[in-house]
Structure 1
Amino acid sequence: MIERHDPHTGLHSEQGALPGEHPGRARNPIVKVHDLAWLEFQKPDLERAEAFAAAFGFTTALRTPDEVQLRGTDAGSPCVLIRRGPRSRFLGPTFRAADGQDVLRLAEATGTTLRPLPDSLGGVAVDLVDPNGTRVRVVADTHQLPTLPTQAPLTFNIGHDVARVNATQRPPRVPARVQRLGHVVLQTTRYRQTLDWYLEHLGLIVSDFLYHQGQRERGPVMSFIRCDRGSTPTDHHTLAMTLGPANRYVHSAYQVPDLDSLAAGGEHLLDRGYQRSWGIGRHIQGSQIFDYWRDPDGFLVEHFTDGDLFDCTLEPGWAPMSASGLAQWGPPATRDFLGVKPGPEALRELRAVIGALRADNEFDLRRLHGLMKAFTS
């Protein structure tokens, strides 16, 4: 009898740190942010961006000639702010502090200025700059948009546990109603310095570390990072960070109600000619059911549902990085998702690799070899 090797064996990150490895949290952070508030982008064609947003499942909260604010059905601030500009680019993440006093404390500790936000958002903000040069905004006391109707969950017959009789399941092929912003993933050439900056300034804590196979002694190269709200469970990751050849946005993720809304919403996007990047599947780190899409400006965005929630007591898990380790089930990770699909983006990444290898940062030849090995494993 032939034994088949399960490639996922050992990839679930229940294994913890070895002595002397990164603890995954700062001893005395300046503040502890409560959540990711919104993301800001610049795009030249707001009409095109808003059309994709509607098909993806956002609701427009504000529209002016030079700005679109997109929201989910949950109460709170908008999820995404898009400003008109000459080229498409990611402007930075905005985190929500517990209150205005935390924003003031952060401003005083960093020598920055507390300032009011525009009337459309309300509240106060402090603007910081992380080690990559990315603007990181922290806000408090913003206006709260009211809850909107969301898609009702379906009634399931699970095995012999029958809850639905004389009724059918017919989920419509309509946009998956986005409920909220879940997380953003960033790539950095100075991974350790940038990781420590977020932990020390914003009080985030690591849920899982990934390392290149055969290079664990050099430290992790990716981290999935959550908010520390004590005994209140929070998303497995609000921010994920990975070492790479360029400082850039990788993707952002938005929660939808369930698998049927995610899948039917995907069919709606396909019907309208939009490009699926990778999916549908279930991740390992975070456990989310996922579906990735490219918007018309080339930004990678994700629908997700059924993600893990951790409180402050769980210590970081450690696992090797690999392409097969990205999902428990689903199709293999695509070249588009991995950023190696032939085309302008892959060419930009190749140029970034050459530039990074010539510069003073953490991305060296051995790290490049580890990354290439991960993509093909």
Structure 2
Amino acid sequence: MERAEVFARDFGFQTAARTERELWLRGTFSGSPCMVIRRGRTSRFVGPAFRAAERGDLDRPARATGGDVRGADVPGGGTVVDLLDPSGFPVRVVHCAEPLPELPGQQPQILNFGTERRRTDATQRPPREPSRIQRLGHVVLETRVFARALDWYLDTLGMIVSDFLFLDGRRGRGPTMAFIRCDQGGLAVDHHTLAMHLGPANGYVHSAYQVTDLDSIAAGGEYLGERGYKRSWGIGRHIQGSQLFDYWHDPDHFMLEHFADGDLFSRDLEPGWAPMSTSGLAQWGPPATRDFLGASPSPQRIRDVIQALRGDNEMDPARLLGLMKAANS
């Protein structure tokens, strides 16, 4: 827990609450905590939580799944309903009674663009300090039952798809990755709050946290590197979502992303379709690393593949080969 809290500060989180067994982390924006870390015998991802705008919003998923609405243990209090998605992840929908107050944040750098000169008689000196996290942006998960899991999130939480990815030459078999967003009608929201892709395991891929701008990403990355943390991939700009990105590993080898300048979509935009490929992950930046792709073989990964090919799920040899091809294309 102590090591996790040191990394959290270095990555740019603020501590919302701490007990002997729990660490609640937050950003500078008013709202909900970003992450809760609990003391345990092993380091593992438990599941995602989604914030409901109103207390009554918990009743619909509770009725649909047979769950119970109960008091929540979030800082400030609230209510929660616990669900289970088809991949086996516990999913929590929370209504916070008292949102966390806003904290001071980093100010964006004032930029000059050609003839648009907004900064005069002043220099640029972004401080070498932790990127100050503003909020949780999205979570990415891997699942063996992609189609079932996608339908569950669309039906149970009312989410909608921004972009589909498919295996090259196999679009007829349907997508193997989806970027999905919250449906708030005409209000433009993040391109994706959750992304999922088909794979040989059910597990966490990464979580992403918004910061102010590119200087915050870069200076914060220098700060992390000086303290011995390992960059996984970055800095670059994505295609789906358009975010500026930088990926890091925490001491327990969980991947976390700093991002800025992501796309915002309203309900009206139709989903995009694109082939799944490593080269399609970024518009610019260094090549995606094997570490980021999870392409380095390990005993656990080999066991996951064998179990997936033997199990009742959506993985088969053709799709496995397609995923391997996409990782090297």
Q: Under TM normalisation by the shorter chain, which class is it?
A: over 0.9
Aligned to 1:349: 301
State the match for 1:371 in structure 2: 323
Q: How does 1:200-239 map to 2 (within 5 A)?
A: 200-239=155-194
**1:89 Cα deviation (Å)?**
0.7
2:232 pairs with 1:277: yes
Moved segments of 4+, more than 3 Å: none
Equivalent residue number for residue 96 of structure 1:
51
Quote the residue 1:286 is aligned against.
Answer: 241
Q: Structure 1 unaligned runs (5+)?
A: 1-45
1:133 and 1:142 map into 2 onto residues whose CA distance is 28
Match of 1:56 in 2: 11
Size of the aligned set, in residue pairs, is: 329
Larger relative contact order (C-alpha < 8 A, sep ≥ 6)? 1
Contact 1:77 1:142 in 2 (8 A): no
SS at structure 2 position matched to 1:91 = coil
**TM-score normalized by structure 2?**
0.98
Aligned-residue RMSD, C-alpha: 1.0
> Can you list the C-alpha shifts for 1:11-54, whole angstroms capped at 9, x where unaligned?
xxxxxxxxxxxxxxxxxxxxxxxxxxxxxxxxxxx100000000
CA distance in 1, matches of 2:19, 2:53: 30
Give the counterpart of 1:362 among 293, 314, 329. Answer: 314
Instruction: Measure, in 2, the Cα distance between the counterparts of 1:335 and 1:322.
Output: 13
Matched residue SS, 2:48: strand
Aligned-partner Cα distance in 2 for 1:164–1:118: 46
Cα distance in 2 for partners of 1:322, 1:315 equals 21
Could you give the per-residue CA deviations for residues 73-93 of structure 1, whole angstroms, max 9, x where no partner exists?
000111000110100011111
The C-alpha deviation readout for 1:62-108, integer Å capped at 9, x for no partner, is: 11111101000000111000110100011111111231112022212
Please list every run of 5 or more consecutive structure 2 residues that lacks an aligned counterpart in the other structure. Answer: none
Aligned-pair distance for 1:160?
2.2
Deviation at 1:352, TM superposition (A): 0.5
Alignment partner of 1:261: what SS?
Answer: helix
Supply the distance in 2 between the matched residues of 1:155 and 1:95 (Cα, whole angstroms).
Answer: 34
What is the deviation of 1:347? 2.9
Contact 2:74 2:96 in 1 (8 A): no
Q: Which amino acid aligns with 1:226?
A: R
* Residues 210-250 of structure 1 deviation map (CA, whole Å, 9 limit, x = unaligned): 00001111000000000000001110000000000000010
Contact residue 71 and residue 78 of structure 1 kept, 8 A: yes
The residue aligned with 2:265 is: 310
Confirm or deny that 1:112 pairs with 2:44.
Answer: no
Q: Deviations over 1:157-214 (max 9, x none)?
A: 1112212222111111100000000000011000000100000000000000000001
Q: CA–CA distance in 1 between the matches of 2:118 and 2:291?
A: 41
Q: Which sits farther off after the overlay, 333-342 or 129-138?
A: 333-342
User: Which residue pairs with 2:195 in the alignment?
Assistant: 240
